[in-house]
Amino acid sequence: MQGSAYAPVRAPARHAHKFGGSSLADAGRYRIAAGLLDDGAPQRVVVVSAMQGVTDALVALVASARAGQDWVPAWSDLRQRHLDTADALDGQHRHGAHAAIETEFDGLRAALEALATASDGAYADALPGLGEVLSSYLMHAALGGDGAGWTRLDAREVLVVHPGEMGVGVDWALSRARLADWRKQHADNDVVVTGFVARDGQGRDTTLGRNGSDYSAAIFANLFDADALTIWTDVDGVLSADPRLVPDAVCLPTMSYAEACELAYFGAKVLHPQTLAPVQQRGIPLRIRNTRNPQAPGTLISPVSEPDAAPVKGLSLVHDLAVLELIGNGMVGVPGTAERLFGALRSAGVSVTMISQGSSEHSICCVVRADQAARGRDAIVAAFADAMADGQAQEVTVTPDICVLAAVGDGMVGTPGVAAQLFDGLAKARINLRAIAQGAGERNISVAIAARDATRALRAAHSAFWLSPHCLSIGLIGPGKVGRALLAQLHEAQSRFQRDSRHNKVDLRLRAIADSRRMHLAPRAMAFDDAHEALAGDGVETLALERFAAHVRAEHIPHALIVDCSGSDAVAAFYPQWIAAGIHIVTPSKHAGSGPLARYEAIREAERSGGQFRYEATVGAGLPVIQTLRSLLDTGDELTEVEGILSGTLAWLFNRYDGQTAFSELVREAHALGYTEPDPRDDLSGTDVARKLVILAREAGRALSLDQIEVESLVPEALRSVSKEEFFERLHELDAPLQQRFDAARAAGLSLRYLARLDREGRASVGVVSPPPGHAALHGALTDNLIQFRTRRYADNPLVVQGPGAGPDVTAAGVFGDLLTIAQTLGARA
C-alpha cells in the first residue's frame, strides 16, 4: 500500500481488523463496527477487545473474590449487560450468543467461588481475558453468524505464547501449525477472533498483558498472512501530540514503523508498544482509524512514511519519572563502570527509560520510573560501595518529579539543526533541560525536564517544529484610546491570519485585561473586538498585578506577554520581575525607558533571563525610530548626535505659528482638534519630549537621566501650578515671549521649532531653537515627528526618520509591531 494516505488504494485480498473496547461499548456500537467491514476484501479477520469497561470489571471481581468480599452483585450486573447486548443483537437467538454467554458466566462464577482456596495465581490472572471471549460471541452475532459466512475463533485454540524479558513472546512455529489445522476446517470463512487471550506452552490460559488486544491483532494479521491491518479506535489516527495538552495537535497521515515504535515506547496511547513487531516482520501496512469518524483516512503505518515538511512527526511525554545520577571523579576512563551500574539496576528490577553520560565520564545519569527510584539508588550505592569508600565515586543522587519529552521523526535523520530547533524552542519557553539523549539512528531526541514544565515544554516543542501555531498568552493593561485601537487591530489581524496561510503560525490569545482599578482573568481566550467590555461584566475583581501576571504566565501556554498601555509608573515598577519570570513586555509608556536609571538597568539585566522588553511606540508611535537606531548600532556604527521634533503637538503648533495668529489661539485650536493632552501643559512643558530623548540616549548606551536634560518649558512659571481652568483663562500670557522670539528669528531669516538635541559631548537639551536654512525640521508635515541621526557613517548627511508620530492608531500600530516582533523571535511566522 504505497502512495498518499489520502489516495484511493486497492482493496487487500485478506484484511485484518481490530476493534477496541470504546468501539464496542453497546449493541449500537457493535452494529456500527460490523458495518465498517464491507471493504471489498475477499477475506476478513476481525479481532475484538472486551466491551468498554469489562476488563476492569473482571479485574475487580477477581480482587473481591480473593479478598473474601461479596462479588455476586457485580458479577450479576456484568452478566446482565452482556445478555442484554446479545438479545439486542440476536433477538431470536439464531446465532447462539445468549446461550454461550450464559455458559461462560456460569464458568466465571465457579472460578470466582474457587478463588478463596485456589493457590494457582496464574489461573486467576487469566480470568480478565474472558471479556474478549464474550465480545467475540457478540461480534459474531452482529455480523450475522455462521449463516453470513462468519466463523468464531477462540485464540486460545491456536495462539501459544511464553513469557520473556521484553514481554510476552509468541511461539510462531507452533501457533502457525495449529492455525493451519484450524483453517482446514474453515478455509473460506471470514473470522472473528478473541483478542488478548492465549495459552502458554503447558496449555494454561493466559493473556498478553493489559492493552494486549492490539498485539493480538498484529499477531493474527501475521498468522493469517493478511495484506493489511486496520485498528479501529476512538481517535482519528496517531496525533502529533496528546490533544489534551496540545489542542492544535494534528493527525499524522503517514508514519514509518520506526517512527511509530518510538512514539509507542514513549507513551503514545494509540498503539501498544509490542503491536508493531508482528506486522513489521512481514511488512503489513497498519492503519489507525476512528469508528466515530470513519470518513477520516486515519494514519497509515508502513515501512516508509511520506516525507513531511517538518523533520519531527510527533512528540510524546512520559510522566512519573526520576533522574538517578552517579557522580565520581575516579570513574573517568575506568572500563566497566556503566556495565556495573546498569547491572545493578537490572538485578534490582529497575527499568531504565533514558541514559545520558558526558564525554568526561565524570557522571552517568539515567531516567527511571519514580516508584523505582529509591530501589535503584540503593542498588547503585551497594554496587559502588567500595568505590565510594575509596573516594572514587562521590554520591548517587535522585531528582524526583521528572518527565521525558521525546521528539520523533524519520525526517530528523541526517537533517542538521533539529536538536538546535528543539532546544531553542524549549529555551524560549524557559524550560530547563536536566538530561539529553539521542540515539545514533537520529529518529529520537529525548530530554528530561521538570514535571511542572511538561505541558509548556510540549506545546513549545510542538510550535518549534511548525506542527502548531506559536501561542502567546496576552494580558492588556490600560484599555484606553491606544489600548482599544490595539484591540481593534488585533481583531482585524486575527481574521487576516486565518485567511492567509502564510500567517497561520501565530496564535495570540488575550487572557487578561485590566484598568487602573479592576481586572478580568479569562480561563480561555477573549474576543479582541469586545474584550474591554469584560471589565464591566461578571468575573471582575480588584486589580492585583501579581495575580494578573501569574494568570498570563499560564503553565499550559509556552509564552506570555503583557501589553502595558496604562502610562502608570506603578505598573512599570513590576517590569523587572515580570521579565525575569519570562514574561515579555510591550509598551507605549515612557516610564520604564526614561524613569529611574537603576530600574532601567534592572530591566535590561532581567532580559538575560529570557523575557523581552519592546517599546518602539514610546518615541515615534508607529515610526521605526528605535528600530533604526538599534540597526545602526548593531551593525557597528557609532552615534554622534540626535536631533529632532519628538512631539506631534509641538510640531503642529510651530508649523502653524507665523506671528500673525497668537500662539495661545493655536494652543486652543490644537486642544479642540484633540492634538494635545487634556491639559496642554503636559505637551508645552517639554517633559514628554525630554523623556523620549532619554530613551534614545539610553538605547545608544548613554546613562542619561531626565534631570540631566536642559528642558525649556513654554509654560510660564506663574501658570505651572494653577488649575487647568485658570490656565486656559490666562493662556494669553504665553504670547508675548514667543512673539518676541519669533520676530527675532524672522529678522534673521529663520523660523522657530521645538527640538530635542543630544550632542557629541553628551549634552542634552529640549527647547525652542531657530534651525539653519535647509534643516530637515523645517520641511515636515503639520504633525510629523522627525528624528535625524548623525553617526560615523552618516556624518555629513544625517539619516532622517519622519512621519506621523502621534494618535491612537499609529501608536497602537507601533505596539502591534513590537508584539509581532516578539512572536517572530520566538519562531512564529507573522
Which fold is adopted by the domain 314-466?
VC0802-like (3.30.2130)
Comparing 829 with 654, the larger pLDDT belongs to 654
What is the 8-class DSSP label of residue 251?
A: B
Where exactly does CATH 3.30.360.10 map onto the chain?
625-806
Mean pLDDT of 408-437: 85
Q: How far from 797 is each of 160, 216, 774, 777, CA to CA, in Å? A: 89, 80, 12, 14
* pLDDT at 402 exceeding the cut of 90: yes
At 210, is the pLDDT very low, low, confident or very high (cuts 50, 70, 90)? low
* pLDDT at 461 exceeding the cut of 60: yes
Predicted confidence at residue 251, as pLDDT, reads 86
Q: Which range has the worst mean pLDDT, 146-160, 209-223, 538-552?
A: 209-223
- Are the beta carbons of 345 and 379 closer than 8 angstroms? yes
- DSSP labels for 145-157? TGGGTEEEE-GGG
What are the residue ranges of helices labelled H in 500-563?
545-552
* pLDDT at 262 exceeding the cut of 70: yes
Position 233, amino acid: T
At 178, is the pLDDT very low, low, confident or very high (cuts 50, 70, 90)? very high
- Are the beta carbons of 620 and 590 closer than 8 angstroms? no
Report the alpha-carbon distance of residue 236 to residue 5 in Å, rounded: 13
CB-neighbour burial class of residue 507 (10 A; exposed 0-12, middle 13-18, buried 19+): buried
Predicted confidence at residue 685, as pLDDT, reads 94
Which residues have CB under 8 Å from 397's CB, separation 6+?
323, 324, 325, 327
Mean pLDDT of 8-14: 69
Report the alpha-carbon distance of residue 160 to residue 176 in Å, rounded: 9
Mean pLDDT of 557-581: 94
Q: How far from 301 is each of 3, 170, 286, 529, 830, CA to CA, in Å? A: 12, 22, 5, 44, 34
Predicted confidence at residue 575, as pLDDT, reads 97
What is the torsional sign of CA 612, 618, 622, 625? negative
CA torsion angle for 64, 65, 69, 72 (degrees, to 10)? 100
* pLDDT at 271 exceeding the cut of 50: yes
Report the alpha-carbon distance of residue 117 to residue 103 in Å, rounded: 23
At 464, is the pLDDT very low, low, confident or very high (cuts 50, 70, 90)? confident
Predicted confidence at residue 484, as pLDDT, reads 94
Predicted confidence at residue 118, as pLDDT, reads 65
Report the alpha-carbon distance of residue 346 to residue 324 in Å, rounded: 14
* pLDDT at 805 exceeding the cut of 80: no
Predicted confidence at residue 783, as pLDDT, reads 82
* pLDDT at 9 exceeding the cut of 60: no
Report the alpha-carbon distance of residue 391 to residue 426 in Å, rounded: 37
pLDDT in tens, 493-520: 887 766 554 444 678 899 999 999 999 9
At 5, is the pLDDT very low, low, confident or very high (cuts 50, 70, 90)? very low
Report the alpha-carbon distance of residue 327 to residue 402 in Å, rounded: 19
- Candidate list 18, 313, 428, 692, residue with the active-site label: 692
Mean pLDDT of 344-363: 83
Mean pLDDT of 696-710: 92
- Return left, alpha or beta for 163; rule: phi > 0 is left, psi -120 to 50 is alpha, else beta: beta
What is the torsional sign of CA 777, 779, 784, 787? negative
Predicted confidence at residue 830, as pLDDT, reads 53
* pLDDT at 264 exceeding the cut of 80: no
Q: How many percent of the chain have pLDDT more than 70?
A: 93
Predicted confidence at residue 4, as pLDDT, reads 40
Mean pLDDT of 476-498: 88
- Are the beta carbons of 532 and 482 closer than 8 angstroms? no
Largest distance between two CA atoms of the chain? 119
pLDDT in tens, 574-610: 999 999 999 999 999 999 999 999 999 999 999 988 7
Predicted confidence at residue 245, as pLDDT, reads 82
- Are the beta carbons of 816 and 566 closer than 8 angstroms? no
Predicted confidence at residue 357, as pLDDT, reads 78
Report the alpha-carbon distance of residue 760 to residue 350 in Å, rounded: 69
Where exactly does CATH 3.40.1160.10 map onto the chain?
14-233
- Are the beta carbons of 275 and 264 closer than 8 angstroms? yes
Predicted confidence at residue 538, as pLDDT, reads 84
Q: What does CATH list as the number for 14-233?
A: 3.40.1160.10
Q: Which range has the worst mean pLDDT, 82-91, 204-213, 717-726, 758-767?
A: 204-213
The count of other CB atoms within 10 Å of the CB of residue 770 is: 18
Report the alpha-carbon distance of residue 396 to residue 402 in Å, rounded: 17
Mean pLDDT of 132-153: 95
* pLDDT at 662 exceeding the cut of 90: yes
Report the alpha-carbon distance of residue 173 to residue 518 in Å, rounded: 74
Residue closest to 675 by CA, chosen among 510, 785, 561: 785
Comparing 175 with 237, the larger pLDDT belongs to 175
Taking the alpha carbons at both ends of the chain, their separation in whole angstroms is 39
Q: Is 692 a catalytic residue?
A: yes
Predicted confidence at residue 348, as pLDDT, reads 93
- DSSP lists the bridge partners of residue 366 as 324, 355
Report the alpha-carbon distance of residue 561 to residue 579 in Å, rounded: 9
* pLDDT at 359 exceeding the cut of 50: yes
pLDDT in tens, 47-91: 999 999 999 999 999 999 988 899 999 999 999 999 999 999 998
Q: What letters, b where the CB count within 10 A reaches 16 and e where it falls short, cover 318-357?
A: beebbbbbbebeebeeeeebbebbbebbeebebebbbebb
Q: What angle do CA 389, 395, 398 make, to 5 degrees?
A: 145
Report the alpha-carbon distance of residue 11 to residue 44 in Å, rounded: 11
Helices (H) and strands (E) in the chain, counts: 30, 31
Beta strands in 335-375 (DSSP E): 352-357, 363-369
- Are the beta carbons of 466 and 312 closer than 8 angstroms? no
SS3 label, residue 265: helix
Where exactly does CATH 3.40.50.720 map onto the chain?
470-613
* pLDDT at 472 exceeding the cut of 90: no
Report the alpha-carbon distance of residue 139 to residue 150 in Å, rounded: 10
- Are the beta carbons of 801 and 625 closer than 8 angstroms? yes
pLDDT in tens, 808-825: 898 999 999 999 999 888
CATH superfamily of 470-613: NAD(P)-binding Rossmann-like Domain (3.40.50.720)
* pLDDT at 2 exceeding the cut of 60: no
CA torsion angle for 159, 162, 163, 164 (degrees, to 10)? -110
Position 113, amino acid: E
Average pLDDT, the chain: 89
The top-level CATH class assigned to 625-806 is alpha beta
Report the alpha-carbon distance of residue 687 to residue 678 in Å, rounded: 15
pLDDT in tens, 361-393: 678 889 999 999 999 999 999 999 988 888 888
Report the alpha-carbon distance of residue 574 to residue 572 in Å, rounded: 5
| Set of cell numbers at residue 297 | 483516512
In a 13 Å sphere around the CA of 432, the CA atoms on its Cβ side amount to 7
